[in-house]
Structure 1
Amino acid sequence: MSDNTDAAVLDDLPPERLLSGDQIQPILAGIRCMDSIETIQAYLAYETKNQDRTHVQDKLRLRARELRRGDGDE
Structure 2
Amino acid sequence: MSAVGPAEALILLVIWVVPAVVLFFLIYWAVRLAIRHEGRRVPSLHERVTAEREAQRREWAEREARRNTEAPDEL
TM-score, L = length of structure 1: 0.24
TM-score, L = length of structure 2: 0.24
Query: Rg larger in 1 or in 2?
Result: 2
- Structure with more helix by fraction: 2
